[in-house]
Amino acid sequence: MIKARITETVAILTSLLLIGCASPQVTRIYSGPERPTLNTVTFDNKCGKPALVKLVGRKITSVEVPNGTAETVVAPAGHYFIKVRFGVVPPDPEYSYTRGDEFDVTQTPASVARITITLHPVAHGNYRSRSISAAEFDDDRSVLTTGMPR
């Protein structure tokens, strides 16, 4: 189990979470005339290997994130988890697969979510994850319909 620490500030709420080789940092911007209107999740890969990330909610959004790069996807308010495949093109014996706990992307009339998930190994965090099989990673039927995966 990989975990991370949680920190808070007054105007911006930041939660540092960790999944396998990943740590989502959630930032909600509460006010200002330049406030963006869409929630986003950014995957910043510092893991040392390329990653294929699936953001799983009511639908699945997949994004390839080469090592040393960051990719951003739009995420409507909702309940999510991520599945990550680390490694290079098959049949890489070094492929590893991880699924993280569920989390929420929230949006109000005064705030949107900016979530950054940094892919890198960190020990002693507070976001549980578990190793999964290639079959579970590939199973796209596990979308969230009522807050719980099928």
Token couple for 64: 């390839």
Token couple for 61: 């959004």
> Average pLDDT for residues 43-61, to the nearest whole number?
92
Residue ranges covered by each domain of the chain: 12-138
pTM of this structure: 0.72
How many whole angstroms separate alpha carbon 10 and alpha carbon 70?
27
C-alpha atoms less than 13 angstroms from C-alpha of 101 in its C-beta half-sphere: 15
Q: What is the pLDDT of residues 73-123, one digit of tens each?
A: 999 999 999 999 998 876 656 788 999 888 899 988 888 899 888 887 666
Residue 50 has pLDDT above 60, yes or no: yes
> Average pLDDT for residues 40-67, to the nearest whole number?
92
Closest Cα partner for 115 from 78, 60, 67? 78
Q: What distances in angstroms separate CA 141 from CA 102, 107, 137, one per listed residue?
A: 16, 26, 10
CA–centroid distance for 124 within its chain: 18
Architecture per CATH, domain 12-138, reads as: Sandwich (2.60)
Closest Cα partner for 96 from 48, 63, 61? 48
Residue 33 has pLDDT above 60, yes or no: no
Predicted confidence at residue 2, as pLDDT, reads: 32
Predicted confidence at residue 144, as pLDDT, reads: 63
How many whole angstroms separate alpha carbon 35 and alpha carbon 19?
28
Per the CB < 8 A criterion, the answer to whether 149 and 60 are in contact is: no
